Amino acid sequence: MNDYLSVSAMGLITPIGNGKAETAGNLFKGCQSGFRSRDDLIPKRKVLVGEAMGEIPGLPAEFAKWDCRNNRMMAVALEQIRPHLERAIARYGNSRIGVILGTSTSGIAEGEAAFAQRVKTGEWPQAFDYAQQEAGGLSEFVKAFLGLAGPAYTIATACSSSAKVFGAARRLIRLGLVDAAIVGGADSLCRMTPSGFTALGAVSAKPANPFSRNRDGITIGEAAAVFLLEKEPGEIVFMGIGETSDAHHISAPEPEGTGAESAMRAALRDAGCGAGDIAYVNLHGTATPLNDVMEGRAVHQIFGADTPCSSTKAMTGHTLGAAGACEAAFLWLTLSQHHNPGRLLPPHLWDEAQDGGIAPLRLTGPGESFPAQKTVAMLSNSFAFGGSNVALVLGTAAS
C-alpha cells in the first residue's frame, strides 16, 4: 500500500485570486486581470508584472521584525487554513509540526527601500530589520506566527524552491521527526528580479506567450501558497516527487531536457504510476526560447502528444521561488471536487502560433475537462537556474 501523504488544506494568494474560490473561478476560465504595468521597478522603464489580488494587511506588532510583503502574503494564505492548522496543532502538538517553505526574494523589496532611504538621508528606517530580507526569515516567521516549536527551514533554489519542500517535508515525516508539515512558498515583487531578468534579455513586454513561435520571454509575478501535509486520509494526496540537477549552465537549461525528463520519470516511479495514469501536466512553461524547447522535448518523450498540458504562467507570470507551490495549488484546485465540480483543466493561453522547433504537445483549450474516475493523478514541473529540476505528482485518493 502506498504511504501517500494527505494534502489536507491549502491557502493561496496569486495574481488570479485571493483564496480558493476566487482563484479557481479565474484559473479555469483563463484570467489575466492581475497583470499591471509598473514604472517603479526598473529605472526609466515600464515593466508588466503579475500582482497578487486583494488586500494584504500588515502583520501584528509582535511580528514587526518580519513585517515585509513576502511574509504578509504568506500570512494571508495561512489565515485561509487557520482552522485546519489549529486542529493539527491540537492533535500533534506544536513541536511535532515542521515548517518547510521556499522563496527566492524573501523581503528584498523592503531592503531595497531601506537602502534607498539610507543613501538619501544617511539613516536606516527605524522599522527596518534585516530579518525581513533573510531567506530563512519566511519559515522562522511562520513558526513564530503559528506558535510552533518544531523544525523550520527555508529552501532557496530559485524557481524550484517551493516544489522541493514537498520532498523535504516527507523525509522529516518518514524519519519520525514530525507528524505533519506546513509546506509552500512565497515570492513578492521587488526591483532585483525584473532588473536581473531584463539584463538577461528574458523579460517580455506582454503577458507570457509560452510555447508560441512568437514567445519572447517571461512575465514576472508574485504569489504565496501553503499546504498542510499529514498522514491522515484525505481527498487529495501527495503521491511522488522527482528531483535532478543538470549542472549544465547557471541560467540556460540543458538543451536536450535530459534532467527534466529524469525528474519526471523519477516522480512517476515514486508515485507508483505510469505516464498513461497522468491526466494533466502543469508545464514550467516560462515562454523563454530555450526553456520551452527543452521542456517540450522532455514532456513529449514521456507523455507523447495526447496528455493535456498547459502553462499557467500566462495567467500569473513567473512567480519564481513561489512557482512550485503556486502551481501545485493549481493542481490541488483542479483535483478538488468542491472547487472544480466540472473537472475543468486550466487552459493554455497563447496566440496559437505553432513553433515547429518544439515537440508536439496537447495544449489545453478553454472548457477542456478530464474524465471522471476513482483516482486521478496530475504532474507539475518546476525548473530553476543551475539546472535544478523538480516534478511533483498530486492525485486523488482511491475511494
Among this protein's residues, is 284 annotated catalytic? yes
Identify the residue with better confidence: 253 or 155: 155
Amino acid at 101: L
Q: Where are the beta strands (DSSP E) in 231-314?
A: 236-245, 278-282, 308-310
Q: CATH topology for 5-396?
A: Peroxisomal Thiolase; Chain A, domain 1 (3.40.47)
**Mean pLDDT for the stretch of residues 136-140:** 96
**Mean pLDDT for the stretch of residues 181-209:** 93
Cβ-based neighbour number of residue 150 at 10 Å? 20
Asked whether residue 399 carries a pLDDT value surpassing 50, the answer given is no
Residue in 190, 273, 284, 348 annotated catalytic:
284
Quickly state the pLDDT bin for 247 (edges 50, 70, 90).
confident
Quickly state the pLDDT bin for 373 (edges 50, 70, 90).
confident
Asked whether residue 2 carries a pLDDT value surpassing 80, the answer given is no
56 and 13 Cβ atoms separated by less than 8 Å: yes
pLDDT at position 133, please?
A: 85
Spans of all domains in the chain:
5-396
Alpha helices (H) along 122-237: 137-146, 161-174, 192-199
Own/partner pairs for 342-345, CB < 8 Å, 24+ apart? 342/28, 342/369, 343/369, 343/370, 343/371, 343/372, 344/28, 344/368, 344/369, 345/28, 345/280, 345/308, 345/310, 345/369, 345/370
Residue in 31, 159, 273, 326 annotated catalytic:
159
Asked whether residue 100 carries a pLDDT value surpassing 80, the answer given is yes
The model's pLDDT over 333-370, given as tens digits with 9 standing for 90+, comes to: 999 999 999 999 999 999 999 999 999 999 999 999 99
Distance CA 218, CA 201 (A): 10
Among this protein's residues, is 273 annotated catalytic? no
**Mean pLDDT for the stretch of residues 184-191:** 96
pLDDT at position 1, please?
A: 42
pLDDT at position 398, please?
A: 66
Q: What is the mean pLDDT of the chain?
A: 95
The model's pLDDT over 146-157, given as tens digits with 9 standing for 90+, comes to: 999 999 999 999
**Mean pLDDT for the stretch of residues 29-41:** 96
Among this protein's residues, is 339 annotated catalytic? no
The model's pLDDT over 67-98, given as tens digits with 9 standing for 90+, comes to: 999 999 999 999 999 999 999 999 999 999 99
Residue in 68, 190, 318, 326 annotated catalytic:
318
Give residue 272's region: left, alpha or beta (phi > 0; psi -120 to 50).
left
